[in-house]
Structure 1
Amino acid sequence: MKEYIKSGLPLAYSDAVIIDKTIFVAGQGPDNLDVAFEDQIGQTIKNLEKVLLKVEASLKDVVKVTVILNYEKITPQMLEEVYKDYFTEPYPARTVFNSDIGFNIQIDAIAVKS
């Protein structure tokens, strides 16, 4: 069975799709680009967490994340420093790559509810 969690935005995507115990969370970004880059990372992870909370999951349920960064603004080292404030060991698998996506960071995730 599939369940689609609607986005609060008037765009053609779901915030998440749940299949059995697996949750696929759409890419999340920061709410405000006029704050420090470290704050943008934190906002993005908090937005990911908000989607997970909608489906009674948490960051501890995340098994894989994909992070898209604009390396001119946010380096992988900056990501690493903030990331550890939100994710704890054992860390989810992670892919990070550089792209000029029009904003500085986007993170999507796959989570599995226990």
Structure 2
Amino acid sequence: MNKTFKTLAEPNRFQIVELLRNGPLSVGEVADRIGLRQPQTSKHLRALMDAGLVEVDPIANRRIYKLRLEPFQELDIWLESYRHIWKERLDSLDDYLQDLQRKDNHHHDEDKE
């Protein structure tokens, strides 16, 4: 997973992954959409492939790149543990805010008497 983060930390690679979320693309299509020359794009795609984030399907004389699901599923599993922590904290914050609101309402009720 550390290799995934290191690979995605490079902005062009991250942008390529974002493009490939919508479906497979050729090297030329990726290059055109992110505004890089084809050799630079190929280098980034190779790094993404080495990290296991994308795979390539050679079709005729074209190489079509697509995302691999497994590394992203691994990231999702890892992030799930943090979602649990945030949910607990948000629930605690919600309880605290409701308690403050009850105290404030009680205080206003006493002022009316």
Same fold (TM over 0.5): no
Name the TM-score, length of structure 1 as normaliser.
0.26
Give the helix-richer structure, 1 or 2.
2
Name the TM-score, length of structure 2 as normaliser.
0.26
Query: Highest relative contact order (Cα 8 Å, sep 6+), 1 or 2?
Result: 1
